[in-house]
Structure 1
Amino acid sequence: MRNPSEKTNVNENNVYFGTDSLKKYFDPDSQPPLPLVELPPHLNPYHQDGVRIYAKMMTMHPANNVKAMPALNMLESSVVPGKTDRIIEYSSGSTVISMSMIARVMHGVNDTRAFLSNKTSEAKLKLMQFFGLDITLFGGPSQPEPLDERGGIQNARRLALGSEHIVNPNQYENDHNWQSHIRWTGPQIYKQLPEINVLCAGMGTSGTMTGLGTYFKDVRPSVYRLGVCTAPGDRVPGPRSYALMRPVEFPWKTAVDTIEEVGSTESYTLSLNLCREGLICGPSSGFNLQGLFQMLAKHKAAGTMPKLAGPDGTIHCVFLCCDLPYQYIDEYFDKLGEQPFHPIRNKNLTKVDLHRYDESWEREALEVLPHFYASPRPLAQSLLSEIVLQPQNRVLDLRQAEDFHAWHLPGSLNVPLSSVGPHTASPFSDPTLLEAQWVELVKIFDDVVSDLGRHHVLVVCYDGDSARVATSVLRAKGVEADSVRGGYRALRLYEGNEFVSTKVPVTVSVAVPLE
């Protein structure tokens, strides 16, 4: 057994150089230890009882989860250089994602395939696709027994046995899984906290707890080893129920002193609290902490807490933070309901104003005439009667009919919006108005977009903002459209008092083509 004091980390600056920099980055022997962070008193209900609780942040490995250590160890012992070209593993997420990165970085194997349950969440499936995994789904239990010939675990095993080019690490039967925590995680914790009294980890494949429990039984037998299982009939991503632990062949029973069963609501709640306090971790991390709390509560009620303490009278407890919360965000809301979360103000806007904006689609008032109009003489010297809208262009004026009749750009068409008036607030300052305008604009342009699509369209309103919304809608429908920054008011600043249209105004309803 390695003595943790024998190895001095040579990479104090946490920098990785050279052509093999990524390999060093993923190698725990080239990194500083992953952080061990004490919970402040307000997160530790047993602080007054002489209990200090530390989170081992396995999330800080480059692969961002506790399964990186087993993946490293299993692939190191099974990949054959120059021969292995595919990895296959049955995994619900973290293990096979870690394998895909480590296989590529450490061994140059780019083909990693995930076998997993058809009950896996859409978020996890997309996450695995994001990391380049080839996915095959299997029906039946989401956590099949490792030796069940009908399940994906044994399917992966059979495929690997049939080809010398395929490796199935098989986290459920591979001793290099749990031995990775004897090799790395245990020595890190012991070096960081040699006075440790209690160790807590969840039970999934049982690899983490088997490795850590075995390690501390050897180097510090006084450490109380707590394994955590899911409550019967409940589910937390990663760990298993005690009933599902029975067929697991790792020597987990000799690696734990007691088992706690924890429910999902408490797990997600504690994970949420930890995240908001700066310890970013997923539901299985809250699950581990809840198991620790339950165990401490029982010892306190029985008056046996002093038996857990070290010579200094303090109980130093470590629990593992296993992965990140982001892939489980929907589950937090499903499990915990709305109460822990602030409501979204102006939520009605999630269904409207859905298209992009671009500053380049807003034209300054001085640009309008040279870009949209023509004249036999230079525009600056032309009379209004000489200015003609170029045939490839259209100008839509969203103002009310009486305002349009009083003044409008030559050749423009009036498409009055019922939600726009000379004294109406900007739609961007009034979410209700924005919703009404967007719905109305979508309806109008649905009726006329086939004609407008052949033209470059300029949209005018009172202050430029409603026209900006209209331009966003038109652009989303494939129409080349711009708006006038500042609207009608900006245009009036740049024309003389004599610049008033003498053309007959045209008012267009939504049912009339803009011809």
Structure 2
Amino acid sequence: MANLNEQNVYFGPDSLKKYFDPDCQPPLPLVELPRHLNPYYDDGVRIYAKMMTMHPANNVKAMPALNMLESSVVSNKTNTIIEYSSGSTVISMSMIARVMHGISDTRAFLSNKTSDAKLKLMQFFGLNITLFGGPSQPEPVDARGGIQNARKMAMESETIVNPNQYENDLNWQAHVRWTGPQIFKQLPEINVLCAGMGTSGTMTGLGTYFKSVKPSVMKLGVCTAPGDRVPGPRSYALLRPVEFPWREAVDAIEEVGSSDSYTLSLNLCREGLVCGPSSGFNLQGLFQMLEKRKSTGTLSDLAGLDGITHCVFLCCDLPYQYIEEYFQKLGPEQFPPIQNERLAKVDLHRYDESWERDAWEILPQFYGSPRSLAQCRLSEITPKPHNWVIDLRRLPDFHAWHLPGSVNLPLSSHGPHTPSPFSDAAVLEAQWVELERIFSNASLVSDLDSHRVLLLCYDGNTARVATSVLRAKGLDADSIRGGCQVLRSYGIGDDRVPAPNKVPYRTTVSVSAMPLD
């Protein structure tokens, strides 16, 4: 563990290899929890998070993956990696296989009960996925599960490697090689070490290392409570067939449920230590052990020569792939409400500024006249062919004044005094639903399909929504910015020439100087 790269910069043709190599990096951060996150601070306990999330692969499994592949991949022979994994291990293998060994074919065997978010995450990283039925965490020796299927495929082909994290001692030895030495170098005062038990590799490696360099360190393993589930760790019952020497590596076991795990993870994330549920799981296990010690009066027995108990727990991965589970596991009171949540299901189409047009730019494209628009009476304006002008105002207002050749499609949700849909969520919801209903008429859409469409309303905002709806259906639609209010302010339809000093909306060019064609 040289860690000579204090600037944390990686140069040259092997820059990515160095970036992934712990021997070429500064140690991953060790961060003390602030007092308000440490309920045992006044009892002389200091708690530190080892941020395994800060490895380039963003999870604790990166170092085992690196260690296992380093010894199992045969140069110019191995072309495929296969691993049974719920996510972090095989994703790390995929990246490390590419970076370190130039292998792009990594295949994930995993449970059919894996969340859709995790499946998509593995697809995102280019993994070839095969699902297996049965228990989500099969026993490593069960011939019916994906673990042994992966092993069998590798045994039948010299080009396939199955690192098999469940039985490969290089899994836990990675933490003897890297993680343990990092922690000891960063915090030689350490008194308690806490990690979750999945394959048990992390705790086995760390426990083995500290048993060698500082036997006084208490090694605490954390398992899931019976009948509960947290991504990554296993229940104590499922650990029994695991053949790693985890029993010799741990001093105590705590069992933790999912609710506490997700809650603590959420709290850590909001305080700036971004980590997934297994990190909250580890911290809760540590809290439980400390509370038991405090209640029996033996907490001070863990302290070092300085009278302080220094505890380290591992932050194993990031929370993003588990976001849906946080909302499922925790109550709505844990999350701020969404204002105007009703809009989440409406107004779903894109907008484009170019679709909202200045009247003096767009009207000449729909109407032809030898003189400028503002000097024409409506009766003198001739509509061009292959254009539709749709007026969304109410019928009385349409009859009182409208552009020649326009068609009235009045909206019940739109009136001269209706608030803007962009200032009132209820108005936007009502207008979008009504517009979607009107323009779901296949016959109407078919009639509009070969035409340019111009949409007009009172103030331009409702027409802007309607333009978004029609554009989503593939139609060539635009709206007039400012709507009829702007047109009337220009004098269009007043049967009089506007005053000489009248300035058109959003332009300083003289109205009379703008030809129609």
TM-score by length of 2: 0.94
Residue 448 (structure 2) pairs with residue 452 (structure 1): yes
Contact 1:398 1:460 in 2 (8 A): yes
Paired position in structure 2 for 1:70: 64
Residue from 149, 173, 179 that aligns with 2:173 = 179
**Once the two structures are superposed, what CA deviation does each residue of 1:404-445 show, in whole Å capped at 9, x if it has no partner?**
122211211111111111111101111111111111111111
Residue 339 of structure 1 is matched in structure 2 by 333
Q: 1:225 and 1:413, CA in 2 relative to 1: closer, same or farther beyond 3 A?
A: same
CA RMSD after TM alignment? 1.3
2:478 alignment counterpart: 482
Question: Which residue identity is paired with 1:477?
Answer: K
Is 1:98–2:92 an aligned residue pair? yes
Q: Give the letter aligned to residue 469 of structure 2.
A: V
* Counterpart among 18, 34, 43 of residue 12 in structure 2: 18
Look up the match of 1:231.
Answer: 225
Aligned to 1:275: 269
What SS class does the counterpart of residue 408 from structure 1 fall into? coil
CA contact (8 A) 1:366 1:494 kept: no
- Distance in 2 separating the partners of 1:45 and 1:100: 40
Whether 1:60 aligns to 2:54 is yes
Structure 2 Cα separation of the partners of residues 499 and 341 of structure 1:
59
Which letter maps to 1:73?
N
Can you give the 5+ residue segments of structure 2 that lack an aligned partner in the other structure? 497-517
Q: What is the 5 A alignment of 1:103-114? A: 103-114=97-108
Take 1:271 and 1:390, find their aligned partners in 2: how far apart are those partners? 64
Deviation of residue 380 (structure 1)? 6.8
Aligned to 2:513: none
2:374·2:491 contact (CA, 8 Å) conserved in 1? Answer: no
Equivalent residue in structure 2 for 1:154, among 145, 148, 152: 148
Deviation per CA, 1:274-319: give whole Å up to 9, x if none: 1111100001000000000010111111111121010000000000
Q: Does 2:462 correspond to 1:466?
A: yes
Q: Of 484, 487, 492, which aligns to 1:491? A: 487
Match among 204, 216, 221 for residue 210 of structure 1: 204
Does structure 1 conserve the Cα–Cα contact (< 8 Å) formed by 2:117 and 2:321?
yes
User: Partner of 1:396: helix, strand, or coil?
Assistant: strand
Q: Secondary structure at the residue paired with 1:349?
A: helix
Shift of 1:8: 4.8
CA contact (8 A) 2:268 2:275 kept: yes
Correspondent of 2:412 among 414, 418, 422: 418
Task: Quote the offset at 1:382 in angstroms.
Answer: 5.4
Q: Provide structure 1 residue ranges, at least 5 long, that are not aligned to the other structure.
A: 1-6, 501-515
Per the TM alignment, residue 264 of structure 1 is displaced from its structure 2 partner at its CA by 0.8
Secondary structure at the counterpart of residue 314 of structure 2: strand
Q: Hey, what's the Cα distance between the residues in 2 that align with 1:142 and 1:496? A: 71
Amino acid at match of 2:472: A
Deviations 1:474-507 (CA, angstroms, capped at 9, x unpaired)? 111111100111111112233356448xxxxxxx
Aligned to 2:399: 405
Residue of structure 1 in register with 2:511 after alignment: none
Per the TM alignment, residue 390 of structure 1 is displaced from its structure 2 partner at its CA by: 1.4
Q: Return the letter of the residue paired with 1:34.
A: L
Relative to 1, partners in 2 of residues 1:39 and 1:252: Cα closer, same or farther, differing over 3 Å? same
Task: Show CA shifts across 1:87-114 (max 9, x none).
Answer: 0000000000000011011110000000
Residue 118 of structure 1 is matched in structure 2 by 112
Matched, 1:387 2:381: yes
Work out the CA distance in 2 between the residues paired with 1:438 and 1:133.
40
1:131 pairs with 2:125: yes
1:12 Cα shift?
A: 1.1
Verify the 8 A CA contact 2:193 2:217 in the aligned structure 1: yes
2:307 paired with 1:307: no
Query: How much does 1:381 deviate?
Result: 6.3
Q: Which residue of 1 aligns with 2:364?
A: 370
Which residue is equivalent to 1:510? none
Residue identity over aligned pairs, in percent, reads 78
8 Å CA contact 1:229–1:242 kept in 2: the answer is yes
* Partners of 2:408 and 2:176 in 1: CA distance: 77
What is the rounded CA distance, in whole Å, between the counterparts of 2:210 and 2:446 in structure 1? Answer: 74
User: What SS class does the counterpart of residue 334 from structure 2 fall into?
Assistant: coil
2:189 aligned partner: 195
Counterpart residue type for residue 463 of structure 2: A
2:509 aligns with none
| Distance in structure 1 (CA, Å) of the matches to 2:2 and 2:70 | 23
Which one-letter code corresponds to 2:171 in the other structure? N
Code of the aligned partner of 2:449: G
Q: What amino acid is aligned across from residue 110 of structure 2 in structure 1?
A: L
> What TM-score comes out, normalization by structure 1 length?
0.94
Alignment partner of 1:49 is 2:8: no
The counterpart of 2:25, out of the listed 16, 22, 31, is: 31
In structure 2, what is the equivalent of residue 504 of structure 1? none
- Write the letter of the residue equivalent to 1:9: N
Report how far residue 384 of structure 1 moved. 3.9
**Count of aligned residue pairs for this structure pair:** 494
